[in-house]
Amino acid sequence: MTTRKIVGALLSLIVLFFVPVMTQAETVWEELPEEADVEPDKTWTIEFNTPINQATLQENIYVKTLDDGKYIPTYDVSEDGKKVVVHPPEDGYVSSGYYKLVVENDISSDKGKQMDQGYEKNFSIKSYEKPVIEEKPVLSTGTVTADVLNVRAEPNASSKKLGSLSRGDVVDVYDFEDFWTEIEFNGQKAYVHKTYMKLRKAGGTAVEGQRIVIDAGHGDHDPGAQSWGAQEKEINLDVSLRVAERLKALGATPILTRDTDQFLTLQGRVEYAQEVRGDLFVSIHANAASPGAKGSEVFYDSRKLSNVEEGRALAGYIQRKLVDIAGMYDRGVKDNNFYVIHYNTLPSVLVELGFMTNSGDFEKLTSNYYRDLYAQAITEGIVDYYEAEVN
């Protein structure tokens, strides 16, 4: 359809006169000049010479169609009660359609005087092509996690800004293009960046299709912490592989930064998460300190540029499960700008499973049974995060 800017413009003026009520058997009609090739979103303005009683407008102004159908329009009445603006149907008048605007004489003035005649005006709509609306199925719903999320005309950050969404807004997603999701905005196709939305597959479970990047800390010549002959890099990798397996079983798409004893730079890990278009980033580590230090802690970064709240929430869910499921001492959720979470645009956390330098924790970290519980705890924390509402 064409622009609706003409709403409110006085495109036609019908001046109606009131005379004292007379008893009439039939309405006398005055035919107003016919108009052809009218815009489909035409508004008609009817002007009376005296304020009208608005209660008498109802059903006495309407539009007839050729097949004797009737469209009861919505209308606005001016402050002085003398002008009535008649709106077109929501989808506009039909292309090449013939219509008759009818003003019945049952309308009366605010003094109770009735019109002595009715008015009719024939008009035809110009021929136009209706824009084809693509019927696309909804793939996912997305809840906005940024305070302000720009809506773009094209799937790139330099394209025209159509408006914005706010944290907690929920939109239907029709397609994905790289990091961009196709949505509908004010009746037109538009795009928002998926990093700032919590997505859920239509009809799926909370984690279905989620691209969760699992980052096993350290590797190869970087062993991480070492204690009593064990190396952190091995614990991290084993627990990461188990998390990936569990996530996969739940329908998620786990993506490991490394699945072998291999070295990766911190920057390489962040870039990889970006490259694979991840939805979430979880780095897995084990700690070392004095023998008395023990327990699990999960870090988020309050100074990163995006998804701080999401990182904080995810950290909380994982930490709770590590305490509940693996029976770890609760060191709480902590705020730290570790490289892999600070430079990550995704909701990101860094998990410290326990202390390799504490005998109790060491026993768990090197136990097949407990490694499985760690993996279960991290997986369930991720599920809890996805099941939670954005608030």
Of 53-61, 247-255, 279-287, 367-375, the segment contacting Zn ion by CB under 5 A is 279-287
At closest approach, how far in Å is the CB of 235 from Zn ion? 9
Q: Which two tokens stand for residue 231?
A: 């190396």
At closest approach, how far in Å is the CB of 336 from Zn ion? 12
Using CA atoms, how far residue 278 sits from 93, 126, 183, 365, in Å, is: 47, 50, 19, 28
Is the CB of 2 or the CB of 260 nearer to Zn ion?
A: 260
Is the CB of 326 or the CB of 350 nearer to Zn ion?
A: 350
Q: Which residue is nearest to Zn ion (CB)?
A: 285
Q: How many residues bind Zn ion (CB under 5 A)?
A: 3
* Rounded-to-integer distance, Cα 373 and Cα 159, Å: 47
Strand-pair category, 140-144 with 118-125: unpaired
> 88, 92, 224, 295: which one contacts Zn ion (CB under 5 A)?
224
Within 13-52, the residues that bind Zn ion by CB under 5 A are none
At closest approach, how far in Å is the CB of 232 from Zn ion? 5
* Helix, coil or strand: residue 32: strand
Interaction between residue 354 and Zn ion (CB under 5 A): no
* Rounded-to-integer distance, Cα 87 and Cα 133, Å: 23
Q: How many CA atoms lie within 13 A of 74 on its CB side?
A: 6
**Ramachandran quadrant class, 217 (left: phi over 0; alpha: psi -120 to 50; beta: rest):** beta
* Rounded-to-integer distance, Cα 205 and Cα 203, Å: 7
> 88, 118, 142, 217: which one contacts Zn ion (CB under 5 A)?
217
* Rounded-to-integer distance, Cα 391 and Cα 267, Å: 31
Is the CB of 224 or the CB of 347 nearer to Zn ion?
A: 224
Within 287-326, the residues that bind Zn ion by CB under 5 A are none
Q: What is the DSSP secondary-structure string of 148-210?
A: EEEEESSSSTTSPEEEEEETT-EEEE-EEETTEEEEEETTEEEEEEGGGEEEEETTS-TTTT-
At closest approach, how far in Å is the CB of 237 from Zn ion? 12
At closest approach, how far in Å is the CB of 136 from Zn ion? 45
Is the CB of 155 or the CB of 224 nearer to Zn ion?
A: 224
Of 186-194, 203-211, 216-224, 239-247, the segment contacting Zn ion by CB under 5 A is 216-224
Is the CB of 246 or the CB of 285 nearer to Zn ion?
A: 285
Is the CB of 195 or the CB of 344 nearer to Zn ion?
A: 344
Interaction between residue 285 and Zn ion (CB under 5 A): yes
User: Order of strands across the sheet with 197-201?
Assistant: 170-173, 140-144, 197-201
Q: Which residues bind Zn ion (CB under 5 A)?
A: 217, 224, 285
